[in-house]
Amino acid sequence: MTAPLEINKEIVRRYREAHNSNQLNLLDEIVAADLIAHNLLPNVPRGLEGGKMVHMGVIASCPDLQTTTEDLFAEGDKVVERWSMSMTHTGEPFLGAPASGRRAQVSGTSIYRIAQGKIVEHWANMDFLGVLQQLGLAPS
């Protein structure tokens, strides 16, 4: 039998892979529809559907978006993922600015709470200011 901590880590690995392959339908099996997501930008719809919308919006602007898991560890019903993200603004306008061809690479940390095999709550902090600065959308 696989230890519960390893099962929970595997759920987060599937969550990351679904995003990196843009197969967001795979999230339905591992994320609760009424997911509680903290630290999101304002004006984002709640729940799993809101998360999918944000991802598809970023992909439209930065089609090469990839997130690499740098560390994954777990305790109790929580999993911590430390990650780095890279993206190049070659597609649709991003936050009103036309594509610049600029690339951003930033770090972030996510904490997932898992219940009955699904991610039910999510906290994330990332270097969003770094994204804006590296894409030329905010002064350095």
In the complex, the residues that contact other proteins under the rule CB under 8 A are: 5, 38-39, 41-43, 71, 73-76, 78-80, 82, 107-109, 111, 123, 125-129, 132, 138
Least distance between other proteins and beta carbon 14 (Å): 19
Least distance between other proteins and beta carbon 134 (Å): 11
Nearest CB to other proteins, comparing residues 14 and 123: 123
Least distance between other proteins and beta carbon 6 (Å): 11
Count of positions (residues) in the chain: 140
**56 and 76 in contact (C-beta within 8 Å)?**
no
